């Protein structure tokens, strides 16, 4: 039992230090169309993603993200340039691809 508590503490502390170094997690919702949703009751899925922010300059960051669409088997991979106009406003320019592992395709 003591090993389980020790492992939980190490996991929690390790996770918080990882996130402090530019790693983060996000939860999104995506709407799909096409053959993948023809026989489905829902048209969207929740996307759980891990992202990493790399500082390029004082106002520009490069953000890479990899996720998994729960329910449809979609893996989105995205790369964005984030330019900070002010402290609360930024402009994003990016590209992404979606790898579909759903059996209907």
What are the counts of helices (DSSP H) followed by strands (DSSP E) for the chain?
1, 5
pLDDT of residue 4: 63
Query: Residue 26: pLDDT above 80?
Result: yes
In a domain, 4, yes or no: no
Which range marks the domain in which residue 48 is found? 23-100
Beta strands across the sheet bearing 74-84:
23-31, 44-55, 60-70, 74-84, 90-100
pLDDT of residue 3: 63
In a domain, 8, yes or no: no
**Maximum CA pair distance of the chain?**
51
pLDDT of residue 85: 92
In whole angstroms, what is the distance from residue 79 CA to residue 40 CA? 30
In a domain, 55, yes or no: yes
Query: Residue 17: pLDDT above 60?
Result: no
For the chain, the domain total comes to: 1
In a domain, 86, yes or no: yes
Q: Are 49 and 77 in contact (CB under 8 A)?
A: no
In a domain, 5, yes or no: no
In a domain, 1, yes or no: no
Share of the chain residues as helix, strand and coil, in percent rounded to the nearest 5: 20, 50, 30
């Amino acid at each position: 039992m003591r090993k389980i508590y020790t492992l939980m503490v190490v996991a929690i502390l390790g996770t918080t230090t990882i996130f402090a170094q530019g790693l983060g997690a996000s939860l999104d919702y995506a709407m799909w169309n096409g053959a993948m949703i023809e026989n489905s009751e829902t048209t969207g899925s929740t996307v759980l993603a891990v992202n990493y922010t790399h500082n390029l300059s004082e106002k520009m960051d490069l953000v890479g993200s990899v996720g998994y669409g729960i329910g449809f088997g979609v893996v989105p991979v995205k790369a964005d340039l984030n330019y900070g106009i002010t402290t609360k406003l930024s402009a994003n320019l990016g590209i992404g691809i979606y790898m579909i592992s759903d059996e209907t395709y």
